Structure 1
Amino acid sequence: MNKKKIIMTGGGSAGHVTPNVALMPELKKLGYEIQYIGTESGIERGIIEAENIKYHVISSGKLRRYFDIKNFTDPFKVIKGVFDAKRVLKEEKPDIVFSKGGFVSVPVVLGAFLNRIPVIIHESDITPGLANKIALPYSTKICVTFPEALNHVNKKKAVLTGSPIRKELFEGSKLKGKNLCGFKNEKPIIFIMGGSLGARAINAVVREGLNELLKSFNIIHICGKGNIDEGLKHNEGYAQFEYVKDELPHLMAAADLVISRAGANSIFEFLALKKPNLLIPLSAKASRGDQILNAESFERQGFSMVVEEEKLNTAMFLEKIKELYANREKYISFMEKSETKDSINKIVKLIEENRKPREK
């Protein structure tokens, strides 16, 4: 019997890679050989090679919605990438390609289409990013995470799956989380993060309101690289981290409330862990506005409380936290009714149903 084979792709940011990694244990269990196509220096390379997955390098240019001098040369890199990907796929003969988006995925999806290999695309946001928008017509199926996303893609191809969550996130220990932070009392814990780079606006209101917050809560604050405040290091009940990785499951297990940006992968983790949350999405000035739409969807479904960054101030921030904590059970009960549970099994089932064994 020929072994099943899948080639995965996605890159440019961790959010385009970690959902792929979340699917890998289940795919391995079902007997898939997994390979990956990415760029030479993309963030995806380190993450995938750490998983001991065979990694193929292709050329790819960045796709931009704004003017940049590289817009004149990058299309040629993308075209070269299509031929690179087509060659790799012809040699490796996978049964199916799974794409998480990001600019590296466009040549891979086109290369698969040219080789008549089925492609499943996963879109995290409500409206497709530029790379997925280009790739969608060449796909077999499209996995979406938000019910509203079904209005922005081909409904015949689309399946509401939610976002795959890494298994280890469910294996955190509340006690380990408290010990990592040195918390000695039983106060409820707020976990605050502003994305991998931190968020100035969030950091500022947290620190301005810190004395008031510490009267009722312990605080875990992921503040971003270079943003540790040395003057606050000795405040009991306040633990600062620039960035966390292996500690994250334990810190999340310890948290009673979460305050965060509204990136799709993160908010689906809060949903899966049933953590009442306050979302402060990146403003439309600093992004394409996808986080605002994500946050509005979660607010509509009763999973999250939302504050616009432009309206954020310390007094309002403190008030919203009190309100969120007082109503936490209501948010948890809505999360328990969510239709986007069991994402990994839904996506793997689609892979199984659409794969096409290749001639060896």
Structure 2
Amino acid sequence: MSSVLLAGGGSAGHVNPMLATAHELRRRGHDVAALGTTEGLEADLVPRAGIEMHVVPRVPMPRRPSGDLLRLPKNLKSAVAAARIAIDDTGAQAVVGFGGFVSTPAYLAARKAGIPIVIHEANARPGLANKLGVRWAARVGATLPGTPLKGAVVTGMPLMPPVQALAEQLAAVNQAPTVRAQARDALGWPADAPVLVVTGGSQGAASLNAATVGAVDDLTAAGVYVWHITGKGKSEVPEAAKATLPPERAAMYRVDEYCHDMAEVYSAATAIVCRSGAGTVAEVTAMQLPAVFVPFPHGNGEQALNAVPAVDAGAGEIVTDADLTPAVLVARAQALVLGTDAESEGARMRRAAAEFATVDGAARVADLVEEVL
């Protein structure tokens, strides 16, 4: 079999699809290694996954004049050299990039080494690294249709193995109710509990946290169970709000700063309120969860674009960050988790999510890689 070097660092949006593809390639018998930095999320997640990581210097790609711009040629040259050493050390026969700081030197080193490049773009709006790399790419995969990269084919998002396995289980006939019931029972909640998950990701989201704290009294009074993932270091105010609830309703409000096993969270959920990073949109639709997407209001607007195809398909809705008040959260949660008939809003979104989702994204990207090996 072949040796493949994968590059994707910084945020979970780059690292998770890289790891999902690495697992699939390794399952098919290929040797895999990863490029990463010592500062990004990959420094923890790649070794945790049992994958060898080769370190390259972090090279910010400045969008405006700055000291980083002046240092760019020297920094980039150093990073390309490190990536070329990793290619030689691993005997890589292809480089697969997922965007971010790590991918630019990987693409340049692969071009110099004369080995094929495969790109996966997670977002509706491509980043700088993949806009550069597509010039030399042999194959290009994209999570969403209409992604403006030449030659891109839609692969969907590569899902981590536990999430993919859960998605396949939920898609099996009559399995979803059993899976949900078992997950809630493990939390000490009723098997038929209507569960709202609220998460702003690993770093949390101030607007989602504030709206949840303001809404939790009304939500639990209405019979809604709430699993609130606050982000690291951001649980103090939610825990204080929980302490003000009557004991029987405090038991309906679970607060965690971070969850390593999101499959466990998705299993228990009836609906979700979340940001709309590309990975999040892909996962929650694969989980067949009605979703209220609250796009990150800063940056280049990619999160709103990521959510649009799922929303257009009927699998969720968008509420802007500024519009997410406690009252809005209560109203949307009740509509999505308390309706029990087949024509309720939540039920319609679940069916739409099941039709929209792509579960085998990792296999599709691995197919592109094998085409060039």
What is the TM-score with the length of structure 1 in the denominator?
A: 0.90
Alignment of 1:264 with 2:270, yes or no, is no
- The structure-2 alpha-carbon separation of the partners of 1:213 and 1:245, relative to structure 1 and needing over 3 Å to count, comes to same
Greater shift after overlay, 197-206 or 181-190? Answer: 181-190
**Structure-to-structure mapping, 1:70-109, within 5 angstroms:** 70-109=68-107
> Which residue is 2:10 aligned to?
12
Deviations 1:256-286 (A, max 9, x none): 1011000100110011111111101111xx2
- The 1-side partners of 2:26 and 2:193 are apart by 41
| Aligned residue runs from structure 1 range 224-263, under 5 A | 224-228=231-235, 229-231=238-240, 232-233=242-243, 235-246=250-261, 248-263=262-277
User: Does the aligned pair in 2 maintain the 1:188–1:217 contact within 8 Å?
Assistant: yes
* Contact kept? 2:122, 2:157, Cα under 8 Å: yes
Is 1:322 aligned to 2:318, yes or no? no
Corresponding residue SS for 2:46 = helix
Q: Secondary structure at the match of 1:88?
A: helix
Q: Distance in 1 between matches of 2:38 and 2:50?
A: 16
Equivalent AA in structure 2 for residue 14 of structure 1: A
Tell whether 2:145 aligns with 1:147: yes
Partner deviation per Cα, 1:267-322 (whole Å, 9 max, x = no partner):
10011111111101111xx2211101112222112221111112222222222223
Q: CA deviation at 1:176?
A: 5.9
Contact 2:17 / 2:158 at 8 angstroms: preserved in 1?
yes
In structure 2, which of residues 289, 293, 296 is the aligned counterpart of residue 282 of structure 1? 296
Partner of 1:345: 363
Contact in 1 for aligned 2:10/2:41 (Cα 8 Å): yes
Q: Measure how far apart 1:217 and its partner are.
A: 0.9
Do residues 212 (structure 1) and 218 (structure 2) align? Answer: yes
Corresponding residue to 2:55 among 46, 54, 57? 57
Gaps of 5+ in 2: 167-178, 338-343
2:154 pairs, out of 148, 153, 160, with 160
> Unpaired runs of 5+ in structure 1?
356-360
Equivalent residue for 2:194, pick from 188, 212, 225: 188
The residue type equivalent to 2:336 in the other structure is L
Residue matched to 2:169: none
**3-state SS of paired residue (1:148):** coil
- Return the alpha-carbon distance in structure 2 between the equivalents of residues 88 and 343 of structure 1: 26
- Give yes or no for contact 2:7–2:102 (8 Å, CA) kept in 1: yes
CA contact (8 A) 1:278 1:324 kept: no
**Secondary structure at the residue paired with 2:32?**
strand
Residue equivalent to 2:175: none
Q: Name the CA distance, whole Å, in 2 between partners of 1:230 and 1:190.
A: 17
> Whole-Å Cα distance in 2 between the matches of residues 115 and 212 of structure 1?
61
Residues 224 and 87 (structure 1), Cα distance of their counterparts in 2 relative to 1, 3 Å cut? closer
Q: What do residues 217-237 of structure 1 show as CA deviations (whole Å, max 9, x unaligned)?
A: 100000112222332145120
TM-score (norm. length: structure 2): 0.87
Could you say if the C-alpha distance between residues 313 and 339 of structure 1 is closer, same or farther in structure 2, counting changes exceeding 3 Å? Answer: closer
Deviation of 1:249 after TM superposition, in Å, equals 1.4
RMSD between aligned alpha carbons?
Answer: 2.0
Q: What is the rounded CA distance, in whole Å, between the counterparts of 1:300 and 1:265 in structure 2?
A: 18
How many residues align structurally? 346
| Identical pairs, percent | 27
